[in-house]
Chains A and B, each alone.
Chain A
Amino acid sequence: MNGFLYGVALQWKLDLRSKSLLITCYIVPLIFFLLMGGIFTSVMPEMGSTLIQSMIVMCVSMGAFIGLPPSLTETYGSDIKKVYKANGVPICLGLVTMFLSAFVHLMIACAVIVLLAPILFEASLPTQLPLFFPALAIYMIVSLSIGSVLGLTVKNQAKLTMAAQLIFLPSIMLSGIMFPVEFLPDFLETIGLIFPASWGYRLMLDNGFCFENLWYLIFIFFAAVIVCGIVLKKQKAK
């Protein structure tokens, strides 16, 4: 356990040093929050009630789909994974430590958004905070599990960037965080439902924590866990 916790703490530091997660979990989402928070609340003051949830969806999507996968590709697409076998530790250890490290980074960034939004933009805090944070954690875990699938399955960094954008952009544009989904054509609204961002966003809204908004996220999570398990098993068998 000691080695595991040290590994998570070390990974957390390595993520900051590599700058990839630093940029995708903190710098870009927080700059986006500062700019768009001001624009949203001045153009449409009623968005103040959902600003925190919207900015969190943006932050989590960026960190999970663009920030996490390159670290996984660097480890599992190279000789670094041999380090686990050579030291007799499970091959999934790298995935677990990177997942937890990214989770902590994203939680910190989201906490900053929750704390600053009411002060800077007079945004409303979620009325049910004890349910908001579990909803946030579930959405984050599901998004990171999709990021894990991307990082383990796409071996080439250029292809990975493309694949990540194919999930990131629709997540942002079609989830209802930029404008209400009712304004979208029906087919785009339906496509938006494929991505967990739509479900996570609804789950985090006031009175949104219910099974109706949860089942799809649970389904995606287990599907992602199965895919990751199969990929890691294949890597171990080589």
Chain B
Amino acid sequence: MMNPAVQVRGLKKSYGNSIVLNGLDLEIEKGEIFALLGVNGAGKTTALECIEGLRKYDNGTIAVNGKMGIQLQSSSLPAHIKPMEAVRLFSKWNKTKIDFTMLNALGIQETTKKQYIQLSTGQKRRLHLALALIGNPDIVFLDEPTAGLDALGRVSLHEQIRKLKSRGKTIVLASHDMAEVENLCDRIAILSNGNIAFCGTAAELTDKIGEKYFIHVKTRQGNNTFETDNIEDTLISLLHDLRQKEIHILDIKVDRGTLEQHFIEMARRETE
């Protein structure tokens, strides 16, 4: 059996009297995109930083099989450093050659004359991703990778993350953006009360939480969403009603709720 990329057993971490991680168990497979989700203060960043080796933990074991690359937050470079200077410094620290193809793909060379403080949020995020990739890591940790980015910036960064996966890298990310996680990740873990409340695919979460079906109907009169436990009966009676009233359907969609809805439901259940 293949070794997991990351294996965490019984991880505990407290800040004073406040228990943030309470015996966390987690396994991340090689080559997958894995997301850590949780409400603010759930311990996502603490868990990530313990795994990355940036934070000491009180108890438990962490095994990371492979070289790590860590995308740090936007406040982690000196204000006046230029992107290529940071790239050169990191490559010397990591004793690796600069991968100009990767830098071009991330658009780093377009920003060579600017200082860090003059970069846009998107350029900063891309630079931090480039710096995380400099040592040619096997596992890449991303904390809120697209926070503050516009739609184009998000799409571009998602493409880069997918390319990393296609090259066999393991990606571990913490995010608040549910749509991003749903589109991008193979598996998710939801942190709650210092432990994992759920770990699996988005479809598995839907099976667990998504008891209701949502029917979204678009007509000339407007849009309506119907919630039901019995999809067949509701759909037949809805179509019948609409035909009787001679209302033409422009579009109709059935789903079992978004990841965001399931996440909120899960968080609600955990707090009850």
Where the two chains meet, the residues of A that have a C-beta atom closer than 8 Å to any C-beta of B are 2-3, 6-7, 10, 13-14, 17-18, 74-75, 78-80, 82-83, 85-89, 237-238
Contact B93 A18 (CB under 8 A): no
Asked whether A79 and B79 contact (CB < 8 A) given A6-B88, A87-B94, the answer is: no
Asked whether A80 and B77 contact (CB < 8 A) given A3-B89, A87-B93, A88-B93, the answer is: yes
Q: Cβ of B55: which chain A residues have Cβ within 8 Å of it?
A: 238
- Which of the residues B52, B79, B92 comes within 8 Å of A86, measured between beta carbons? B52
Asked whether A74 and B78 contact (CB < 8 A) given A10-B85, A79-B72, A86-B52, the answer is: yes
- In this assembly, does B81 line the interface, its C-beta being within 8 Å of a C-beta of chain A? yes
Q: Cβ of B244: which chain A residues have Cβ within 8 Å of it?
A: none
For A78, give the chain B residue with the smallest CB separation: B75
User: Which residues from 62 to 96 on chain B have a C-beta closer than 8 Å to any C-beta of chain A?
Assistant: 70, 72-73, 75-81, 85, 88-90, 92-95
Q: How far is the CB of B15 from chain A (nearest CB, A)?
A: 10
Q: In the assembly, what is the distance between CA of A85 and CA of B80, in Å?
A: 21
- In this assembly, does B56 line the interface, its C-beta being within 8 Å of a C-beta of chain A? yes
- In this assembly, does B54 line the interface, its C-beta being within 8 Å of a C-beta of chain A? yes
Asked whether A85 and B78 contact (CB < 8 A) given A7-B89, A10-B89, A17-B115, the answer is: no
Given contacts A18-B78, A79-B73, A86-B52, 10 further A-B contacts (CB under 8 A): A3-B95, A6-B92, A10-B85, A79-B72, A82-B72, A83-B77, A87-B93, A87-B94, A88-B93, A238-B56
Q: Cβ of B168: which chain A residues have Cβ within 8 Å of it?
A: none
Q: Which of the listed residues A14, A17, A86, A87 has the most CB atoms from chain B within 10 Å of its own CB?
A: A86
Q: In the assembly, what is the distance between CA of A123 and CA of B90, in Å?
A: 47
Q: In the assembly, what is the distance between CA of A117 and CA of B76, in Å?
A: 43
